[in-house]
């Protein structure tokens, strides 16, 4: 599935929730079932700065595609981060570098995040895209 197709699928999944509270409850429920990181993977270099809770991102390059795993102390943060990682996971480095995670604004997620969580989300996307740029250049 291309990034554009994955983006469209995530939008279709989140659009039916007109009420922001229902949307966030869905994101939280998704986070509860999302795989996290092992305690040994929750290390300082993987922390994403600027969020109200701890958020870790573990990017890898496997077989020419980018893989992204994340975890967080907060279910809202983990859920939103998992959506972002789901968008980019399995994409080529060039696709990752060139694509923003604007689908979250389209479905009304970012508008209802606290300023600190929006900052953390921006930093998460920046780290993911930077990883894509570095992997594409290698």
The pLDDT, as a whole number, for residue 42 is 96
3-state secondary structure string, 73-111?
A: CCHHHHHHHHHHHHHHCCCCHHHHHHCCCCHHHHCCCHH
CATH topology for 3-39+49-137 is Sufe protein. Chain: A (3.90.1010)
Residue pair 122/34 in contact by the 8 Å Cβ criterion: no
Q: Model confidence over 30-42: pLDDT tens digits? A: 889 888 999 999 9
Query: Could you give the CA distance from residue 52 to residue 120 in angstroms, rounded to a whole number?
Result: 8
Torsion sign, CA atoms 34, 30, 113, 67: positive
Q: How many CB atoms lie within 10 A of CB 111?
A: 10
Q: Given a cut of 90, is residue 88 above it in pLDDT?
A: yes
Nearest alpha-carbon partner for 66 in 96, 100, 35: 96
Q: Given a cut of 90, is residue 2 above it in pLDDT?
A: no
Residue pair 37/71 in contact by the 8 Å Cβ criterion: yes
Nearest alpha-carbon partner for 81 in 14, 11, 136, 128: 128
**pTM of the model as a whole:** 0.92
The pLDDT, as a whole number, for residue 103 is 86
Among 74-78, 95-99, 115-119, the range scoring the smallest mean pLDDT is 115-119
The pLDDT, as a whole number, for residue 126 is 95
């Amino acid at each position: 599935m291309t990034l554009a197709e994955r983006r469209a699928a995530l939008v279709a999944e989140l659009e039916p929730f007109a009420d922001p509270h229902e949307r966030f409850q869905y994101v939280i429920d998704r986070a509860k079932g999302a795989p996290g990181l092992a305690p040994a993977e929750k290390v300082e270099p993987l922390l994403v700065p600027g969020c109200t809770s701890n958020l870790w991102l573990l990017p890898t390059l496997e077989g020419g595609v980018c893989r992204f795993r994340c975890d967080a102390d907060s279910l809202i943060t983990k859920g939103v981060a998992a959506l972002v990682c789901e968008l980019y996971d399995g994409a080529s480095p060039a696709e990752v570098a060139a694509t923003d995670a604007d689908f979250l604004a389209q479905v009304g997620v970012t508008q209802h995040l606290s300023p600190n969580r929006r900052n953390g989300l921006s930093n998460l996307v920046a780290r993911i895209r930077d990883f894509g740029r570095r992997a594409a250049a290698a």
